[in-house]
Amino acid sequence: MTNSAHSPTGPAVLPVDLDEAAHRCLVAGFDGTAGVPDELKRLVDRGLGGVILFTRNVRDAEQVRRLTDELRAIRPDLLVGVDNEGGGIGHLVSAGAPDVPGAFALGVAEDPALTARCADALAGHLASLGITVSYAPVADLQHHPRNPIVRTRSFGAEPVLAARHLRAWIAATERRGVASCAKHFPGHGGTETDSHHGVAVDPRSHDELRSDLEPFRAAVAAGVPMIMSAHVVFPALDPERPATLSRRILGDLLRHELDFDGVLVTDALEMRAIADRYGEAAGARIALAAGADQVIVAVPHLEVTLACRDAVLGALGSGVLPEERVREAAGRVRRLAERYAVPAGEAAGWDTGAGPEAARRAVRALPGPPAVRGAHVVDLFPPPHPALNWGGEDLLTEVRAVDPTATGTAVTGEPADPPAVVARILRAAGGAPLVVATCDAGLYPWQERIRAALLSRRPDAVRVDTGLPEGGAACSYGRGRVNLRALAEVLTGV
């Protein structure tokens, strides 16, 4: 069915071309691994701009290829995207995603050519699955010690370093015919709140914020085709609204000062920074009016997407949302689709050794502890983030892969009885060497307390970090499988 043959339904009956333009401005999540839901088919037929895949849509590589083929059979210019940062932040583990350590480890390794090889591996894998939009790389700077969401997803705290690696990543992704997306403009690294969970505010002055803009400026200069907005309030830039809903930030700053003319996409509207205060539907309308070109509704409940769509159509019908703004946004999305919607061709192979090499170079950038064998490994880490994939990786598994005599205990999240956990660990360890790993313990005091209790009884224990470095004898700079394997090799002397 073509748009010209479709009679739009909803809160406003608009000209067919304007109805199609409004649908171009939406990116929808959905549920299932087999078949496209009928409601989604109807949205695609009316012009839906894109879909975003998550772990819930992935069983294996062949299944993903069938799914992307089916989506394009409905309409060939549909954009199919996924979050694909590496370092455990991705949704394609069961589809054979290349092991890549994530941005912070790449920044520590400090070799843009190696970053390009890692980005090429990720993009090559995407292209082989029929996915041509990658919501990566992260351009945020990690400089606030209590930031809960950026951390090892960032290339680091230095704008020049981040810019160097962003350029390498963007260029490598582009060569694969995959659209990259620098996020989260104008930077999420200066907050103490995760915008998935609440209103995030960056209280710094205009001058202090300038350094955070530099990686995005570099990404624009490198030709990045997409930028994603942050659900963060910057009082120095706009005291009223988060960046996603701010004309000052999206228009004056990004469009005019940074001269970006690609597709500006929002972070997911169901995140509580938007949903709790505005609601997803109002958020969609306000974001488009403020200058966004596409809004993402990542939840699999298509009724949320439909509510956002209806709010946009209603605002167009009443004149609250100017027609020319939606046509401008849809035009950018069409140009993006002309370049990227259809995979460039059969994806050539990629370098499977780039990720392990990068992870090892990061872990070995500083002298490590003496090697231990037959250790009892204690892995303390927070529960996985609900919006980010977690493939079940843990340090003990990776240590045992290179030293089968190792034993260990994994503690995922704060236990109900920490002293009992400490006692159980010490009994299990006996006289074996003890390794205590924590992940961002400064954000999770329960880890600090358990670590301190263990070290008070076993001062000979080797302390290591699996998030950002916090004084351990070694650091993996992330909890992707390849990060943890590189740390395991250092610990065991492999």
Residue-level pLDDT, tens digit, the chain, 494 residues: 333 334 344 455 899 999 999 999 999 999 999 989 999 999 999 999 999 999 999 999 999 999 999 999 999 999 999 999 999 888 999 999 999 999 999 999 999 999 999 999 999 999 999 999 999 999 999 989 999 999 999 999 999 999 999 999 999 999 999 999 999 999 999 999 999 999 899 999 999 999 999 999 999 999 999 999 999 999 999 999 999 999 999 999 999 999 999 999 999 999 999 999 999 999 999 999 999 999 999 999 999 999 999 999 999 999 999 999 999 999 999 999 999 999 887 778 999 999 999 999 999 999 999 999 999 999 999 988 877 877 788 999 999 999 999 999 999 999 999 999 999 999 999 999 999 999 999 999 999 999 999 999 999 999 999 999 999 999 999 999 999 999 999 999 99
Contact 155, 200 (CB under 8 A): no
Same domain assignment for residues 334 and 463 = no
Residue 385 has a pLDDT of 82
Domain hosting 199: range is 3-340
> Look-up: residue for tokens 């109807």?
42
In a domain, 102, yes or no: yes
pTM: 0.95
Take residue 331 and report the two structure tokens written for it.
């035009």
End-to-end CA distance of the chain, in Å? 59
Domain endpoint, select from 340, 375, 405: 340
What is the DSSP code string of 255-281?
IIIS---SEEEEEETTSHHHHTTT-HH
Work out the burial of residue 419: count CB atoms within 10 Å of its CB; fewer than 13 is exposed, 13-18 middle, 19 or more buried.
exposed
Same domain assignment for residues 101 and 242 = yes
Same domain assignment for residues 376 and 262 = no
Take residue 11 and report the two structure tokens written for it.
């809160």
CATH code, domain with 281: 3.20.20.300
What is the DSSP code string of 432-480?
S-EEEEESSTTT-HHHHHHHHHHHHH-TTPEEEESSS--S-S-B-SS-S
Residue in 23, 188, 196, 376 annotated catalytic: 196
Residue in 267, 310, 403, 440 annotated catalytic: 267
Residue 2 has a pLDDT of 36
Length of the chain measured in residues: 494
Same domain assignment for residues 253 and 378 = no
In a domain, 351, yes or no: no
Task: List the one residue out of 408, 412, 389, 406 whose CA is nearest residue 481.
Answer: 389
In a domain, 184, yes or no: yes
Same domain assignment for residues 229 and 300 = yes
Element (H, E) at 264: strand 263-268
Distance CA 444, CA 408 (A): 21
Same domain assignment for residues 324 and 372 = no
Same domain assignment for residues 331 and 370 = no
Domain count, the chain: 2
Residue 391 has a pLDDT of 77
Work out the burial of residue 201: count CB atoms within 10 Å of its CB; fewer than 13 is exposed, 13-18 middle, 19 or more buried.
middle
For 19, 185, 291, 479, 483, the CA distances from 315, given in Å and listed in that order, are: 12, 26, 15, 44, 48
Domain endpoint, select from 325, 340, 355: 340
Is 165 catalytic? The answer is no
In a domain, 73, yes or no: yes
Residue 57 has a pLDDT of 97
Same domain assignment for residues 290 and 420 = no
In a domain, 101, yes or no: yes
In a domain, 353, yes or no: no
- Which residue type occupies 355? G
Domain endpoint, select from 291, 325, 340: 340
Same domain assignment for residues 263 and 169 = yes
In a domain, 11, yes or no: yes
Same domain assignment for residues 234 and 285 = yes
Residue 323 has a pLDDT of 98
What contacts 210, CB < 8 A, 6 or more positions away? none
Residue 387 has a pLDDT of 78
Same domain assignment for residues 21 and 144 = yes
Same domain assignment for residues 300 and 392 = no
Residue 373 has a pLDDT of 97
In a domain, 350, yes or no: no
In 96-152, alpha helices (H): 103-109, 112-129
CATH code, domain with 420: 3.40.50
Is 77 catalytic? The answer is no
